[in-house]
Amino acid sequence: ASDDRTARLWDARVRGDVATLEHEYQVTAVSYSADGKTVYAGGIDNGITAWDVRQKRKVMTMKGHTDTITYLSLSPDGNHLLSNSMDGTVRSWDIRPFVEGNRRHIRTFHGGTHNAEKGLLNCSWSADGTMVSAGSADRAVHIWDVPTGEELYYLPGHAGCVNSVVFHPTENVVASGSSDKSIYVGELAQ
């Protein structure tokens, strides 16, 4: 992702980029598909573009956000993509190949915020794919239920913007990093 309006594919074996995917606007977030054949890129145009890596061509665009996309996260099963945006929403998208058009947008999660700092706040999936979380400028961790969109946890405590939240890969635990220079680790109720 880059201000030069490109997403670049890198190969450490050749110590350089092996492909450049050109966009109209700056790119702020990227994610690979589970099979490595598609790259998803989001940016200041508020959309998510899917690129076929082998053919280096756009294969799909997903629209719905009304401000810059700050992060993209692939679900554990590889069938869904999560996006965080400066419009204050987190959205889940169905990226399976047989889904078409407006049916790609599954759910919008409300509660997290962005502020004038316009940070690139992340979002993440729990290991089993039943919960999602996102960074938020309101100094709290927000965790939602994927099937219903209900906010399950609102975890205040940071003194600054929460930039990153991740779920433990096997335990019911989250870690959050903040602009207040702290990392909190907490166990969620069963």
∠ at Cα 72 (70, 75), nearest 5°?
150
Residues of the chain with pLDDT under 50: none
pLDDT tens by residue, 94-150: 999 888 877 899 999 988 877 666 778 899 999 999 999 998 989 999 999 999 999
Q: Which residues of 71-108 are buried (b: 16+ CB within 10 A; e: fewer)?
A: bbbbbbeeebbbbbbbbbbbbbbbbeeeeeeeebbbbe
What pTM does this model have? 0.89
- What are the contacts of 137-143 at 24+ separation with CB within 8 A? 137/112, 137/113, 137/161, 137/162, 138/112, 138/113, 139/178, 139/180, 141/165, 141/174, 141/176, 141/184, 142/109, 142/111, 142/112, 143/174, 143/188
The predicted pLDDT at position 178 comes to 94
Tell me how far apart the alpha carbons of residues 166 and 85 are, in angstroms, rounded to a whole number.
17
Which two three-digit tokens encode residue 78?
Answer: 């590889």
The predicted pLDDT at position 153 comes to 94
CB 83 within 8 A of CB 91: yes
The predicted pLDDT at position 116 comes to 64
Tell me how far apart the alpha carbons of residues 161 and 178 are, in angstroms, rounded to a whole number.
5
